[in-house]
């Protein structure tokens, strides 16, 4: 009998040791989670904040025609991230598609987006006891590179100020968007932001006679044809893709001829200019100039600056409009840097429509 009790006591003692061992493992696991997990989470937050800031900084520079790589690197280094955390670029599966980015940056022209990412490892503390010496840290962000619809629209100054000061709804595309003075009488509110009327290829002094139509990105044809220019306008400019090079104040920009009110309005709507949408447009003095005989054939307007607008109505309706009506909300801005932050490139939420 005494042997039985001794055996039972030893068994209980063994069970207690097992429970204590398991308990110590559990406690150690929680301790490791608290220490190393907490450190990892704080480092992830730091990485996410840094890559978010770098994304917006680089997107703004891209929007204004500057160096994305320089802005991206400068922003991260300013937040104490060395080059190994963001360079060289890495992509999942080796496919250099922006949405596959693992480390670095990638521009996606199709969606006017910039992807930025950092990737590195941090040392562990408690987990080193079980041989787990490193934890991976990765953060990624996506930003718009175009702001809010910086459009190929030019609005006359008289209408702009009437709208800004009095809240008047004004026609900015199609029917009702005509100039105050227009010898050709065919202006419908839309310009080619990538065709500058200047003296020559080597002299960018603005000239109303448009002796040389200077091509700016995304157009490459020189001299540009009207057909090519309209295709570029349709494919790129309505969505804001061709405003990486801002026309300076005083520059003369060619106007869009031979296109119906309905065509122009439908392209605007297809790009997303629907009631409630904010956008940016050029403001001009109200006169469309026709070149003198013997000079260029590009009617043109002069840039006074930029204004911000909100679409309020599509007439007669959104499915078959001939007129885009808006109200002015701010300006005249003499530099793109003065355009309100809310209309600048910004982060795209991970759960945005269409996803990442």
Q: Using H for helix, E for strand and C for coil, what is the string for 187-208?
A: CCCEEEEEEEEEEECCEEEECC
pLDDT in tens, 26-78: 566 566 667 788 899 999 999 999 999 999 899 888 877 788 999 999 999 99
- Pairing state of beta strands 278-284 and 150-156? parallel
**Residue bearing the bigger pLDDT, 3 or 315:** 315
Rg over alpha carbons for the chain, rounded to the nearest Å, is: 30
Q: What is the pLDDT of residue 348?
A: 73
Q: Any bridge partners for residue 215, and if so which?
A: 195
- What average pLDDT does the segment 341-349 reach? 73
CA distance 339 to 330: 9
What percent of the chain lies above the pLDDT cut of 70?
A: 86
Contacts by 176-180, CB closer than 8 A, 24 or more apart: 176/323, 176/325, 177/323, 177/324, 179/286, 179/287, 179/288, 179/301, 180/156, 180/286, 180/287
CB atoms within 10 A of CB 262: 14
Q: What is the pLDDT of residue 353?
A: 46
pLDDT in tens, 224-263: 898 999 998 988 788 766 665 678 899 999 999 889 999 9
CA distance 172 to 324: 6
Rounded alpha-carbon distances, angstroms, from residue 30 to 20, 37, 38, 132, 214 = 15, 9, 11, 15, 67
Structure tokens at 245: 């090079």
CA distance 101 to 55: 13
- What average pLDDT does the segment 201-218 reach? 92
Under 8 Å between Cβ of 148 and 239: no
pTM: 0.67
Place of tokens 């005249």: 332
- What average pLDDT does the segment 192-203 reach? 94
Residue 149 has pLDDT above 70, yes or no: no
For residue 279, which of 234, 235, 314, 327 has the smallest C-alpha distance? 327
pLDDT in tens, 285-329: 999 999 998 888 899 999 999 999 999 999 999 889 999 999 999
């Amino acid at each position: 009998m005494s042997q039985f009790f001794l055996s039972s006591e030893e068994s209980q003692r063994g069970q207690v040791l097992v429970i204590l061992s398991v308990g110590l493992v559990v406690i150690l696991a929680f301790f490791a989670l608290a220490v190393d997990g907490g450190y990892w989470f704080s480092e992830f937050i730091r990485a996410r904040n840094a890559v978010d800031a770098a994304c917006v900084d680089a997107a703004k520079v891209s929007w204004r025609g500057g160096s994305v790589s320089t802005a991206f690197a400068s922003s991260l280094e300013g937040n104490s991230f060395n080059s190994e955390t963001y360079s060289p670029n890495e992509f999942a599966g080796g496919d250099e598609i922006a949405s596959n980015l693992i480390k670095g940056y990638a521009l996606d022209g199709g969606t006017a987006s910039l992807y930025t990412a950092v990737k590195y490892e941090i040392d562990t503390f408690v987990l080193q006891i079980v041989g787990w010496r490193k934890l991976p840290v990765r953060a990624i962000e996506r930003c718009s590179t175009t702001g809010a619809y910086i459009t190929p629209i030019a609005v006359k100054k008289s209408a702009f100020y009437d709208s800004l000061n009095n809240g008047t709804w004004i026609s900015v595309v199609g029917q009702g968007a005509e100039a105050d003075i227009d010898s050709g009488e065919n202006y419908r509110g839309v310009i080619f932001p990538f065709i500058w009327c200047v003296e020559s290829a080597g002299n960018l002094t603005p000239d109303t006679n448009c002796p040389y139509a200077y091509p700016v990105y995304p157009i490459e044809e020189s001299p540009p044809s009207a057909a090519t220019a309209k295709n570029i306008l349709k494919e790129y400019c309505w969505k804001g893709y061709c405003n990486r090079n801002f026309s300076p104040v005083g520059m003369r920009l060619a106007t869009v001829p031979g296109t119906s009110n309905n065509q122009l309005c439908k392209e605007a709507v297809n790009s997303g200019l629907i009631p409630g949408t904010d956008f940016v447009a050029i403001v001009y003095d109200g006169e469309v100039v026709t070149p003198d005989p013997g000079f260029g054939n590009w009617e043109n307007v002069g840039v006074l600056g930029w204004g911000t607008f909100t679409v309020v109505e599509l007439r007669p309706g959104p499915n078959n409009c001939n007129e885009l009506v808006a109200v002015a909300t701010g300006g005249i801005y003499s530099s793109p840097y003065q355009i309100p932050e809310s209309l600048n490139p910004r982060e795209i939420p991970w759960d945005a429509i269409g996803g990442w």
